Amino acid sequence: DEMRDHIFELLSNSFFQKWKERHQVRYTFVKGCLKLEMPPPFSVVIQESEKGSWHVPITCQNNESEGSWLCITR
């Protein structure tokens, strides 16, 4: 069926990885206590703007979602 094929095409590896990064909750057990790590509120991968600038995440070691970004322009 064509709709199913379209959906599977959308879920290709690159699209799925981006989706997973923004929606997957990670968990660990620290000394018997459950610790949840929520997904970041934004994508933490290198991004190119419409004007050709690049934004590169520079993450902190203790919390990736609180990192800084390096902006590279031409």
CA proximity to 18, closest of 49, 48, 50, 44: 44
Residue 2 pLDDT exceeds 70: no
* Same domain? 66 vs 33: no
**11 class by beta-carbon count within 10 Å (0-12 exposed, 13-18 middle, 19+ buried):** exposed
pTM of the predicted structure, to 2 decimals: 0.47
Domain that holds residue 2: 1-39
* Same domain? 24 vs 58: no
- Contact call for residues 54 and 46 (beta carbons, < 8 A): yes
* Same domain? 3 vs 35: yes
Counting residues of the chain whose pLDDT is more than 70, the rounded percentage is 70
Res 19: pLDDT: 78
* Same domain? 33 vs 47: no
Compute the average pLDDT of residues 63-69: 67
* Same domain? 32 vs 57: no
